[in-house]
A = this chain, B = another copy of it.
């Protein structure tokens, strides 16, 4: 941590800052520049509050953190890429691209089975079904709950596909962990810290989707909350950030894939359906994500998008999905050659 004093700061102000740092058992190194004095703080055991305290001290211009705020999530802490292994042996973060398929909201057993069978046959690996549906409006369809989870469990048994489902509050965790293999924490809840910790403690693999205006640092700090419970099976998911352009629902920020892989050891998947909100954009953006190095994709598929109770416009038909999977395989192969 570096303390930058104001231009022309007095010796007294510099001494006061140094004294406070030393009182906390840390060392300092002072650089007196031609315009400003800066104070380096040396030591590892900073209280997180130190930066805020010093920022309020007299004649201090700003505080510059040098070390990262997250530790367990960092590549420096764990140089080897994390590979999350699910029951049944499927892995996320290894050499294969994982395809997660979902109908958006679970509406009926019939709909779910149609999607799941087609997905499995085309080469999909994991079934995503949302049974607790948070909606921006209280008047929209809000999910089937327990009934839906049972349908998911039935499909899992029949097709041997692992299940991914989203939870929105701690009350839903117990039910979800009974039936699901991966628990998703959605973008609205990325900074719901109680939920991150409670889901982490289940030791079930947890996927954390980036909040729609979260920085990468905030996202990795959210992962840190889950990792801090001892759970090592944390997966990141990019599903778009909010911008000024109404053309798409969100902007899919694909540069986070190589960036996260440099900063962190955690696997990362991408959800082009949710980000774009438009079916015709899903295949090109899914392929782009693979080319950029994503470990997997989440694709919304619906037997009849125009009758879906949610996520219709962004869903692919089963035929479109099958075609996309072929393309994904081509790009995956090219990427392997490429690297």
Q: Which residues of A contact B (CB under 8 A)?
A: 2, 4, 7-8, 29, 31-36, 38, 40, 42-44, 47-49, 52-58, 64, 66-67, 69-70, 76, 134-141, 168-171, 188-189, 191-195, 197, 212-213, 215-218, 221, 224-225, 228, 241-248, 251-259, 262, 275-276, 279-281, 284-285, 287-293, 305-313, 315, 326-327, 330-331, 333-335, 337-339
Contacts and interface: CB of A to CB of B under 8 A. Distances in A.
A287 B218 CA distance: 27
A238 to B, nearest CB: 11
Given A169-B170, A308-B53, A334-B330, A4 B66 contact: yes
B280 A262 contact: yes
Contacts of A213: 212-213, 242, 244
Contacts of A140: 48-49
B310 A136 contact: no
Contacts of A52: 308-313
A142 B187 CA distance: 22
Nearest to A225: B138
Contacts of A168: 192-194
Contact of A334 (B42, B58, B70, B333): B333
A285 B257 CA distance: 9
Nearest to A336: B330
A175 B19 CA distance: 41
A36 B36 CA distance: 22
A22 to B, nearest CB: 15
B138 A224 contact: yes
A251 B259 contact: no
Given A34-B43, A69-B136, A254-B254, 14 more contacts: A2-B38, A40-B40, A136-B191, A137-B221, A168-B194, A169-B169, A241-B251, A254-B288, A255-B281, A258-B281, A287-B338, A288-B291, A291-B331, A330-B334
